[in-house]
Amino acid sequence: MNGAGVARLGGILFALASCAGAPAPVENPRPAPAAVSAPGAETAGFVEVPGGRLAFVERGAGPALVLLHDGLLPSTTWDEVLPRLAEHFRVLAYDRRGNGRSPVSTAPWSEVDDLEALLVARGVARASLVGSSSGGELALDYALAHPERVEGLVLAGRSSADSRSRRTSARAGCAAGSR
């Protein structure tokens, strides 16, 4: 994405953020429609990952844009802005493990590996990542691990590196059944 594309993305996100209403409810009310193959049509489903599966929704056409929710709310957090973003981008939003329609993991996992598996399964070679809070942290971690696959980053309220180490330890313990 060139400078004009980044500026357009930033402008769209700023405009959407300034007109957003109340936050989405914690439960994920989005139904799981049958997969659709038409370009730009909404597709929803699951991607299988080691020890679990990830629920996703995809809409639009154009440069890929992945929306990464925070650690407290599911991907429906993005429902109000997703349709407008899909006018300009191929938008992919998913529920991280234990959120929304994605079940809790049955084994230790890596959020970076999960994001990579999702992008591979959906045929996304490069994407801009938009992350809120711990979603921003995931975006940074993914960009460091896979810089060749990241077109750009938009981060809002990214949490600290210290919280990442605590969260990683907790994930391994929860998956191992030590909770």
The pLDDT of residue 14 is 47
Q: Under a CB-based contact definition with an 8 Å cutoff, are residues 95 and 74 in contact? A: yes
Q: Which of 106, 89, 101, 96 is nearest to 141 (CA)?
A: 96
Supply the pTM of this predicted model: 0.72
pLDDT band at residue 173, thresholds of 50, 70 and 90?
Answer: very low
Question: Alpha-carbon distance 69 to 134, whole Å?
Answer: 8
> What is the pLDDT averaged over residues 60-87?
95
Walk me through the domains of the chain, giving residue ranges and CATH numbers. 13-18+36-175 (3.40.50.1820)
The tens digit of pLDDT for each residue in 119-171 reads: 999 999 999 999 999 999 999 999 999 999 999 999 998 665 554 543 443 34
Task: List C-alpha distances in Å: 61 to 30, 31, 43, 57, 175.
Answer: 21, 21, 12, 13, 36
